[in-house]
Amino acid sequence: MTRTHGETEREARPWHRFYSENTPRKLAYTPTSWTAEMTRAFTRFEAQPALEYYGQTWTFGALRDDVAMAAAAFRSFGIEKGDRVALHLPNCPWHPIFFYGALAAGAVVTHLSPLDAGQEIAHKLTDSGARLVISLTTPELAHPFKSLLAARMATGQVAHLVQCPDAISGDGRECPVLPGAQPVEDFLAGHAGAPFAPVACAPEDIALLQYTGGTTGLPKAAILTHANLCAAVEMFHAFSQDEPSAAPGQRSLVYSPLFHIMGLVTALMKRTKEGGIIHLRLRFDADAAVEEIARHKIASFGGVPTSWIAILQAKGVTADKLSSLTFASSGGAPMPAEVRRRVRVLTGLDVRGGWGMTETAAAGTLIPRDAGKDKLASIGVPIPGVDMKVVDVEDAGRDLPPGETGEIAIRGPNVTCGYWAKPEETAASFHDGWLLTGDVGYMDADGFFYLVDRKKDLILSGGFNVYPLVIETAVHQHPDVAEAMAIGVPDDYRGESAKVFVTLNAGAARFTLSQLHAFLADKLGRHEMPRHLEFRDALPHTAVGKADRKALRAEELGT
């Protein structure tokens, strides 16, 4: 049955007038499974290039054959529909092969970050009940598994481990298979040439258990069904279908981790559906990215704000080398206005931001093509099929009017039904069918949403709510600043005060806190002024490149 999403009992949304002519105001969406979607893509684009990885290439047909081989190996191992399979893989071809292969076998995938510590891996494997782990044979990935295996061998709870070779990840170093692990060639042996025959999956079947932060300090898994993932892909496609970069055969350079929800849905699954060519890279390098864009005539490039900061500082970067780009995007965190301005000067493109969560399969808001410069500081408007509003932080039942700051709430066919084996956290995260995101922000009269901060990052200073993002955005406008992060530190008088950490552009000289205050005088209120300033050579980031205030706070406060 075809359903429409985006307008329910509420009236037409103010943001609809900013949609392009071909963007649907309502999403006509028939719930389906990703196995059905990828089958259509493999058939439609069979002879076209699908994936390139440091010179290795796959057509859609070749990728389908490898996925069929992986699915057959899973079934031979004994993986049945609904069984969990864990992928402990960075960006490499093994990821799409085994991700699609696991879904084709009817399994549920859970991602382990390659940067997870052994304790985190143990928790995710135990919590998800994964029967099988696919990993790489690299020195970096071996360490957490050694500690995990040692602990689990003692109790007989070792999940079966398959290890895959990858010359790029190994970088020429010895990468032995761990004791007790199975080489991937043995796992796949006898399954080459297997027919592509995905297990029948219903839209409501679970496809992915994607871990995110938990209130107890342990990661919790958002339950994402086939329908959730397919809806998110369709939403992104519906919003961007007029973009030249979304056409079949267009090339995208992908550094965004596929084990992260944004990279998975927008860089891999969406481009598979659209017939795009994915140039997949292991880890981000700004100098290499500039050369890759020029060499491959890349049409689409996206990252996090720090990626663009690094591009601006890359060796040899010129407008000519980036001239093939027709779409530039940034996600993960709001982009400082000054960084956005510099990118536009270099490329002629407005960096199009957006917002989404693990719990929404990455889909949420995007900035329309003709939004206008005064809207670029926003996270954009809800995309087709998504409904959003702002509610009182203390009373989720009270909707707030445009301009008032509160907690952002969202609903749509992409939104998780809850957290795996966490009924209390699930109940606390929803109100009357709306997911309470934990993000603090507001909606303007045109329906554009703006983030102020995360509730948990609030600085309570002298009775005022101070948002680190507001401070960071202002400090980023300083011409000598490359990156800034702000956190709250103890203050005997105010309770907390803001401390800002800064990295400088190459060749720039340090400035004093007084000089910074003078620069910020027309940008911040007195209660928002940072009381402390520290220069650093680098600032901490998460595995996907987001500013890691939690790590910075732990370093500063020794927690």
Q: What's the pLDDT at 142?
A: 59
DSSP string, 299-328: -EEEE-HHHHHHHHT-TT--TGGGTT-SEE
pLDDT reading at 472 higher than 80: yes
Listed residue (516, 513, 506) closest to 482, CA to CA: 506
CA-to-CA distance for 354 and 356, rounded, in angstroms? 7
**Range from 47-61, 174-188, 267-281, 378-392 carrying the lowest mean pLDDT:** 174-188
Q: What's the pLDDT at 157?
A: 58
Average model confidence (pLDDT) across the chain: 88
For 219, residues 6+ apart whose C-beta sits below 8 A from its C-beta are 120, 123, 124, 127, 211, 212, 213
CA-to-CA distance for 204 and 413, rounded, in angstroms? 11
Mean pLDDT throughout 94-108? 98
pLDDT confidence band for 10 (50 / 70 / 90): very low
CA-to-CA distance for 237 and 363, rounded, in angstroms? 11
Cα dihedral across residues 69, 71, 73, 75: positive or negative: negative
Contact 510, 495 (CB under 8 A): no
Q: What's the pLDDT at 460?
A: 67
Mean pLDDT throughout 237-255? 95
pLDDT reading at 358 higher than 70: yes
CA-to-CA distance for 99 and 368, rounded, in angstroms? 31
Rounded to the nearest 5°, which phi and psi values hold at 283?
A: -140, 150
Rounded to the nearest 5°, which phi and psi values hold at 488?
A: -90, 140
Rounded to the nearest 5°, which phi and psi values hold at 280?
A: -90, 130
pLDDT reading at 422 higher than 50: yes
Contact 454, 487 (CB under 8 A): no
Q: What's the pLDDT at 2?
A: 46
CA-to-CA dists, residue 110 to 76, 163, 378, 498, angstroms: 20, 16, 32, 37
Q: What's the pLDDT at 117?
A: 64
Q: What's the pLDDT at 332?
A: 66
For residue range 65-75, what is the model confidence (pLDDT) as tens digits?
A: 999 999 999 99
CA-to-CA distance for 151 and 167, rounded, in angstroms? 29
Rounded to the nearest 5°, which phi and psi values hold at 213?
A: -65, 150
Whole-prediction pTM: 0.82
Which pair of structure tokens corresponds to residue 343? 């990118």
Mean pLDDT throughout 410-429? 96
Q: What's the pLDDT at 541?
A: 87
pLDDT reading at 287 higher than 70: yes
Q: What's the pLDDT at 183?
A: 93
Say which residue, 6 or 428, is predicted with more confidence.
428
pLDDT confidence band for 11 (50 / 70 / 90): low
For residue range 490-524, what is the model confidence (pLDDT) as tens digits?
A: 886 677 889 999 999 999 999 999 999 999 987 87
Q: What percent of the chain has pLDDT over 70?
A: 89
pLDDT reading at 278 higher than 90: yes
Name the residue with tokens 């995938």.
Answer: 109
Residue 376 falls in which region: left (phi positive, over 0), alpha (psi -120 to 50) or beta: alpha
The total number of residues written for the chain in this structure: 559
DSSP string, 30-70: ----HHHHHHHHHHHTTTSEEEEETTEEEEHHHHHHHHHHH
Max mean pLDDT among 5-19, 75-89, 102-116, 325-339 falls in: 75-89
pLDDT reading at 114 higher than 60: yes
Domains observed in the chain: 34-221 (3.40.50.980), 459-557 (3.30.300.30)
Relative to beta strand 381-382, strand 220-225 is unpaired
Q: What's the pLDDT at 213?
A: 63
pLDDT reading at 339 higher than 60: yes
Q: What's the pLDDT at 115?
A: 67
**Range from 53-57, 162-166, 207-211, 498-502 carrying the lowest mean pLDDT:** 162-166
Name the residue with tokens 């702002």.
Answer: 390
Q: What's the pLDDT at 559?
A: 61
Q: What's the pLDDT at 9?
A: 40
